[in-house]
Amino acid sequence: MHRKTALPPVRFLDRKTPPHIITLVLIAGLAALNQNIFLPALPEMAAFFRTDYAVMQLTLSGYLAGTAALQLLIGPLSDRYGRRPVMIGALVVLIAATIVCVLSTHVAVFLAARMVQTTVVAGMVLSRAIVRDMVPVEQAASMLGYVTMGMAMVPMFGPAIGGMLSELFGWQASFTALGILAILVLIVVIADLGETNRNPSASFRAQFAVWPDLLGSRIFWNYALISVFISGAFFSFLGGAPFAGTTLLKLTPGALGLQFLYTAAGYMAGNFLSGRYARRLGLMRMLLIGNGISLLGVGLALAFALAGHFTALSFFGSMVLMGLGNGVALPSANAGMVNVRPDLAGSASGLGGALTLGLGAILSVIASSIMSEETGVIPLLVVMFACAVAAMLSIGLLRSSTRKAGGDRLDN
């Protein structure tokens, strides 16, 4: 294992020092924004390309699958060559792909460009790895909480703005706005993101030679499964919410976009609580509290639906609790994953993210396909509730694993 090299103090817009938290927020927030800004325009996009809604839903499910696979490469690339060059390259590719999306007139070209946009996932992978480079694990969950709180503010209004842009200028406007923001973020990254990986891997062969230690860690897989299932409820929601809002509740794109504010507001509040209390309460308590809140929110929405009370407020309003719980729990899950092998923080972040988004892609497809006007929203909520229960079971497995490993105080 490499000995950690001390990093210089942070100075904003000085690329010789580690990045400012603002830069980490921007790169992670851009990745999140790219997932959701266009969602209210999906029906309009299907009409424009003269294809089925299920085909256009690949812009979400296919995108998630692509980002899952790409994270397996981005993490090791950043461990080998550094965080800075990988992030800059990812943004350049994103900008080019976004231009193609805006100019596309054929669905196959559009979907291909959308898949290339997956490079922006580097923002999520590398923000976690950079935080682990900068601070010890005792501070990582707290700092990640603040980073993701700020990140949540960036895409918080994404669907709302995307819906309004779609109504005013057409679906292409969302991607135009995304491209402009990507250029601005690239400028900030070039000026501010100093290299934090001071002990890069000697080669890919040397790097992958130590992967068995990571892959063989029961604690790593426990943290990864917690992240997978906590996020699974959210990705199911993303896959099914456009159908629920547009077809079942008859909302306009603009009105549907506003409904996503509930989940984003809850997530941002949860991130704030994580940043405030993660160091004091420890990873295990944050995981239990966060997932318990998420389970309550999804259960509440399901109870309303089973009682025959399905409205925009009962469905989207209940998602405040799901977002709050995710915001409390996910920073601790991510901090736990990247601390299993700190010298492989990028790889651990990439692998954990790949597992999370891989299942997310599957669940978003399931969520969009199991609902109909006859079944209503109940099948979607059952899937979401099952994910929350599975996350709670995974937390129990983590508790058992840490006790067998000697009970690390951070996990108590």
Query: How many Cβ atoms from other residues are within 10 Å of residue 65's Cβ?
Result: 21
| Residues whose CB falls within 8 Å of the CB of residue 80, separated by 6 or more in sequence, listed in order | 200, 201, 203, 204, 207
What does pTM read for this prediction? 0.69
| Residues whose CB falls within 8 Å of the CB of residue 62, separated by 6 or more in sequence, listed in order | 111, 114, 115, 361
pLDDT higher than threshold 80 for residue 251: yes
Confidence of residue 412 (pLDDT cuts 50, 70, 90): very low
Residue 152 or residue 299, greater confidence: 299
Rank 3-17, 45-59, 154-168, 384-398 by mean pLDDT and report only the highest.
Answer: 384-398
Q: Which of 341, 355, 356, 338 is nearest to 131 (CA)?
A: 338
Of the listed ranges 110-114, 212-216, 294-298, the least confidently predicted one is 212-216
| Residues whose CB falls within 8 Å of the CB of residue 409, separated by 6 or more in sequence, listed in order | 282
Tokens 């679906």 locate to 171
Between CA 41 and CA 48, with CA 46 as vertex, the angle to 5 degrees is 90
| Residues whose CB falls within 8 Å of the CB of residue 360, separated by 6 or more in sequence, listed in order | 64, 68, 231, 232, 234, 235, 238
**Phi/psi at 7 (nearest 5 deg)?**
-100, 150
CATH architecture of 21-194+211-411: Up-down Bundle (1.20)
pLDDT higher than threshold 80 for residue 153: no
pLDDT tens for each residue of 167-183: 888 889 999 999 999 99
